[in-house]
Structure 1
Amino acid sequence: MNISMLLDMAVDGFGDRVVIGTRDTGITASRLRELAIAGAATVRDSGADAIVYLAVNGPAFPVAMFAAARAGVPLVPVNYRLGREQLDALLANHPRALGIADPNQAEVLERAGLNVRTPAQWLQQLSEPDVTKVDEDEGLDTEGAAVVIYTSGTTSAPKGVLLRHENLSSYVIGSVEFANAEDADAALVSVPPYHIAAVANVITNLYAGRRTMVLEQFTPEQWLDTVRDEGITNALVVPTMLARIVDSDADKTVPALRGLAYGGAPMPTRVIERALELWPEVGFVNAYGLTETSSTIAVLGPEEHRAAIGSSDAPVRARLGSVGLPVPGVQIEIRDANDAVLGSGEVGRICVAGDQVSAEYAGVGRMVDERGFFDTRDKGFVDDEGYLFVGGRVDDTIIRGAENIAPAEIEDVMLRHPAVLDVAVVGLPDEEWGQRIEAAVVLRPGEHVSREELRSFVRNALRSSKTPERIAYWDDLPRTETGKLVRRHVVDRLIEQAATV
């Protein structure tokens, strides 16, 4: 099923409803399809085999997505924060693409030899009365790649993940009820277009009939103002954003907000507890997924959040730190190093299967086993009721004296200290132990805590072998726009600092 059919369904169900942008100047479902049809014609007339999108999020993005789908070529949203060398290498994979770029990024695509227009020029071009239209009766590609997303490269060079139409369609139809939103419902998305959540939110909110707005530049004040001014009922944030919102001094009244989803990185317990206290009527959703799985594969829903925060039963309370239960159509197994399936409570590799799971890389193929399971490279376990707990990347494991130590366990403890705002724990080479534990810590403004006091805080909660040997205080940590920690940059900087001492 080509994702254009999701747009066709929206037009048939609520064609006059604004689905993209502001209430006053937004794009209706019918207009979105008209623009997509014109965009598909532009793609075909140019002979392009992809649309490369190197710009901030906005109305041009969903138009480009559905234009590409109708033209039978993939949309390639590119991280505009990559360095020149990475961008040039990535764009070399798409020499025949049609380019859409912000004015300050146009030179990057022109250097790659692409025909470029800005988002405003793209929309204006498709609005011209004499623009060619694609024959709507022409068959749509249902097997090809709808989107190619390059992974963030937090541990290696970015890899192109192919998300086929069947993967994205399976995700939407399996997790969203068609036209279930009210006329006034609106979603606010605060992630960049090259993140899977941005792609997923375009098609899921459209399928639900919910208007989608994006926040190009996040500040707590602007987010809160937009939620109030636009009557936002549903929103998506990453953990670092929610932390800044709940800690800000801004007016936090959000009268229309009914649902707040978060994901992309681990959520500190302190932050979600504070948010639940601040907005008890809001339904919080923790969504766990990967680019390779077409977004969400497990969800901790609103009632589960409320049950966990209000429970005195330790296992139920602990579920506030879980990512919930698998979504329909997804199978999850926890496996050991020998691929044996583990039981509840046993930590291993999270492996996942289902129609929405792509696990396909450009130039490599699908990375699944004979049963169709994809190794996420995340560590985790399930409890007795099937709730999934994620414990970081397999590659993040610190091996100290033959003991496997999860950085997330130490980070969770350090984040409980009232003076600590952010923290990263990593393993550095050590001649005696193989690796030693070090931490980079960001303190809250105006707070102070000595290194030894912080080490004692960890030691009292865990044990000496899991206590960082060295703690560095930094102004911020290297994170992606979606809040993912780039651990290799932490390691490099700690090594560099140690060498200069």
Structure 2
Amino acid sequence: MSISLLLEMATSGDPDRTAVVDDDLRLTTDELSTLADGGAGVIAASGAQHVAYVGTGGAMLPLLLFAAARAAVPVTPLNYRLSADGLRSLLDRLPDPLVVVDDEYRDAVGDGYRTMSSADFLGAARIAEPAAEFADPDAVAVVLFTSGTTSKPKAVELTHNNLTSYITGTVEFASAQPDDAALICVPPYHIAGVGAALSNPYAGRKMVYLRHFDAQRWVELVRTEGVTSATVVPTMLDRIVSVLEAQDAALPTLRTLAYGGSKVPLPLVRKALSLLPEVGFVNAYGLTETSSTIAVLTPDDHRAALAASDEAATRRLGSVGQPVPGIEVEIRAEDGTVLGPGEPGELFVRGDQVSGKYTDIGSVLDEQGWFPTKDVAYLDAEGYLFIGGRSDDTIIRGGENIAPAEIEDVLVEHPQVRDCAVVGADDPQWGQIIVAVVVPQPGTEPDVEDLRAHVRAQLRGSRTPDRVVFRAELPTNATGKVLRRELVAEVNQDRPSALPAT
């Protein structure tokens, strides 16, 4: 099934429904479909083998996704925040692309490519001879580059079948209420942005785009557009909570608020739940290679965990919930043994929405179709999934493997800690030492020994941070992931001897 069928089904169901709101631009489902047909004609006439998009998204993302699908060529939204050299290095890896670019990033793209401005593409799509063909369901629909914590970002290939399996497996067609509206502020080059552009038309939900996140503007759009659902990353949620606290504001239309992209500190989750008691919170976990979400902590899960008295149930507020339909999960030890409840290991996932294939590398699925996520995780007795961070982030101190998330979960509960990240710094004696990078609560000055004692009281002595450093904020990317390599480089510049771990 081609992703273009998702829009065709939406158009046949309700052609006059407002599909997209992007500042002053409003498109019905039928208008979006007509533009996608024209856009496919523009792409086909160009002779390009690939479409690349450099820009902030909005209506251009769903338009290009569906237009490229109807032209039977893949599309790649690129990170517009990259340097000019970074952008061009990725463009050079795409076969004969048509580059559609917002005006503000035209200079960064430079010359040497077949290029159209976003405005010109939109104008051309309005008058072009329509083109529409059904792509092979097993053909690549979208290519997304990983965030590039390694020297060379990997190009993840997602087929039409991968993406439509995710949508049809997790979303009921035309299930949205007539007044439903989704506020989208995740970047277009992230899998969550792609998933939102495909799932909302299929559900029959209006998409309201906020291209440049601003917490005050986000709150205003929820009110003026009657937004009923939204997805945010941790840094966005933190800023939204601050606005709501300062204004004593209410969001009467908002029914669902999903958060994900990276781990959200539990104190922030509890505060958000208390500020918006009528809102159903959703924690969504997924990867680019899995076509977005593979596990969900539902609103009922949130409420049950918050109200629970036994520790196991309370702890589930820090989980990512249970696998979505069509997804299987396994936790494996280093030797491949499948582990039982409560035993941490590497998370493997399997399902039709899972790609696990990279350009120039090929598939990394094993013989049974399992994808190695590189995430450390465990399942509890009821099948709730807990993510402990990337295996690459593991600190090896004196030969002992230490998961940063284990320490972060304890440290962030200290009343004077707003946020934190734990990383390993080079050390001649221990190999690595534990460094806690702490963002204090406003108006507080945490004592280093008090923070160390707080961790030591709840974890083994070997988990006590050797050093604590303070920062006004943690460096993150657009999806809220902490840039740990930046922190490691920072703490390695100053390497005092390790304190005794007692």
Q: TM-score interval w.r.t. the shorter chain?
A: over 0.9
Aligned to 1:132: 129
Contact 2:18–2:26 (CA under 8 A) maintained in structure 1: yes
Greater Cα offset, 349-358 or 217-226 = 217-226
- Cα distance in 2 for residues equivalent to 1:78 and 1:497: 35
Which of 269, 289, 294 is the equivalent residue of 1:292? Answer: 289
In the alignment, is the contact (CA less than 8 A) between 2:40 and 2:68 conserved in 1? yes
In structure 1, the residue matched to 2:140 is 145
What aligned pairs does 1:41-60 form with structure 2 within 5 A after superposition?
41-60=41-60
1:415 and 1:25 mapped to 2: Cα distance? 42
Deviations 1:52-104 (A, max 9, x none): 11100211111011111111111111011123332222111125211111222
Q: What's the offset of the Cα at 1:156?
A: 4.2
Pairs within 5 Å for 1:409-428 = 409-428=406-425
Where 2:493 maps in the other structure, the secondary structure is helix
The one-letter amino acid paired with 1:474 is R
Q: Which moved more, 1:450-459 or 1:68-77?
A: 450-459
- Counterpart of 2:118 in structure 1 is 119
1:369-384 alignment to 2 at 5 Å? 369-384=366-381
Q: Distance in 2 between matches of 1:114 and 1:23?
A: 29
User: What per-residue deviation string (whole Å, max 9, x for no partner) do you get for residues 406-458 of structure 1?
Assistant: 10111112211222222111112222222111122222332211222222222
| 8 Å contact from structure 1 (residues 420, 444) kept in 2 | yes
Distance 1:50 1:251 in 2: 48
Does residue 462 in structure 1 map to residue 459 in structure 2? yes
Residue number in structure 1 paired with 2:89: 89
Q: Does 1:269 align with 2:233?
A: no
Q: Which amino acid aligns with 2:373?
A: T
Q: If the length of structure 2 is used for normalisation, what is the TM-score? A: 0.95
Relative to structure 1, the CA distance from residue 447 to residue 219 in structure 2 (aligned partners, 3 Å threshold; closer, same or farther) is farther
Task: Please say which of residues 217-226 and 301-310 is displaced more in the overlay.
Answer: 217-226
1:288-367 counterparts in 2 under 5 A? 288-367=285-364
Structure 2: tracts of 5 or more residues without a match: 497-502
Structure 1 residue aligned with 2:37: 37
8 Å Cα contact 1:186-1:213 kept in structure 2: yes
**Percent identical across equivalent pairs?**
49
d(CA) in 2 for partners of 1:487 and 1:465? 21
Match of 2:26 in 1: 26
Asked if the contact 2:56–2:212 (Cα under 8 Å) also holds between the matched residues in 1, the reply is no
Alignment correspondent of 2:477: 480
Aligned to 1:99: 99
8 Å CA contact 2:146, 2:154 repeated in 1: yes
- Please name the residue that 1:495 is paired with: 492
Pairs aligned (count): 494
Tell me how far 1:461 sits from its aligned partner.
Answer: 2.4
After superposing the two structures, state which structure 1 stretch, 186-195 or 219-228, moved more. 219-228
CA distance in 2, matches of 1:99, 1:405: 44
Aligned twin of 1:232: 227
Asked if residue 203 in structure 1 is aligned to residue 202 in structure 2, the reply is: no
The residue type equivalent to 1:476 in the other structure is E
**Which deviates more from structure 2 when the two are superposed, residues 456-465 or residues 310-319?**
456-465
Unaligned stretches of 5+ in structure 1? none
Aligned to 1:244: 239
* Equivalent residue letter for 1:158: P
Q: Is the 8 A contact 2:37 2:130 kept in 1?
A: yes
**Aligned partner of 1:407: which letter?**
P
Shift of 1:491: 0.5
1:447 paired residue number: 444
Cα distance in structure 1, aligned partners of 2:85 and 2:108? 11
Q: 1:481 to 1:22 in 2, by over 3 A?
A: closer
Q: How far does the alpha carbon of each residue in 1:455-482 deviate from its partner, in whole angstroms, 9 at most, with x for none? A: 2222222233111111221222221111
Partner secondary structure for residue 222 of structure 2: helix
1:62 aligns with 2:62: yes
- Residue 217 of structure 1 corresponds to 212
Whichever residue aligns with residue 123 of structure 2, its letter is Q
Bigger drift between 296-305 and 116-125 goes to: 116-125
SS in 2 for 1:428: strand
Q: State the distance in 1 between where 2:94 and 2:399 align.
A: 45
CA distance in 2, matches of 1:317, 1:441: 25
SS in 1 for 2:457: helix
Distance in 1, Cα, partners of 2:377 & 2:436: 22
User: CA 1:22 to 1:361, structure 2 compared with 1: closer, same or farther past 3 Å?
Assistant: closer
The CA deviation string for residues 29-71 of structure 1, in whole angstroms up to 9 with x for no partner, is 1111111111111111111111111100211111011111111
Q: Is the 8 A contact 1:224 1:251 kept in 2?
A: no
Distance across 1 between alignment mates of 2:468 and 2:179: 50
CA–CA separation in structure 2 for the residues paired with 1:484 and 1:343: 29
| Matched letter for residue 457 of structure 1 | H
- Alpha carbons of 1:23 and 1:493: their partners in 2 closer, same or farther (altered >3 Å)? closer
**TM-superposed deviation, 1:24:** 7.9
CA–CA distance in structure 2, aligned partners of residues 87 and 52 of structure 1? 11
Q: Secondary structure at the match of 1:465?
A: helix
Equivalent position SS for 1:436? strand
Deviations along 1:354-386, one digit per CA (max 9) or x if unpaired, are 000001101111111010000000001001111
Q: Secondary structure at the match of 1:425?
A: strand
Match of 1:158 in 2: 153
Letter in 1 for 2:239: R
Is the 2:41–2:125 contact (alpha carbons within 8 Å) kept by the matching residues of 1? no
Moved more, 94-103 or 264-273: 94-103
Q: Within the alignment, does 1:6 sit opposite 2:6 as a pair?
A: yes
Aligned partners of 1:22 and 1:230 also within 8 Å: no
Structure 1 residue 498, shift from structure 2 partner: 4.0
Looking at structure 1, the residues matched to 233 and 450 of structure 2 have their Cα atoms a distance apart, in angstroms, of: 30
Matched residues in 2 for 1:480 and 1:291: separation?
Answer: 15
> Matches of 1:471 and 1:169 in 2, distance apart?
46
Normalising by the residue count of structure 1, what TM-score does the alignment of the two structures yield?
A: 0.96
Q: Which amino acid aligns with 1:46?
A: S
Q: 2:162 aligns with which of 164, 167, 185?
A: 167
2:118 maps to amino acid: P
Name the aligned partner's letter for residue 8 of structure 1.
Answer: E
Secondary structure in structure 1 of the residue aligned to 2:82 = coil
CA separation in 2, counterparts of 1:21 and 1:180? 20
Secondary structure at the residue paired with 1:26?
Answer: strand
Q: Secondary structure at the match of 1:277?
A: helix
Q: Aligned equivalents of 1:497 and 1:429: distance in 2?
A: 10
Distance 2:440 2:84 in 1: 33
The question of whether the paired residues in 1 share the 8 Å contact of 2:437 and 2:471 is answered with yes
CA distance in 2 between partners of 1:382 and 1:173 (Å) = 26
Q: What displacement does 1:22 show?
A: 5.8
Deviations along 1:385-414, one digit per CA (max 9) or x if unpaired, are 111011000111111122211101111122
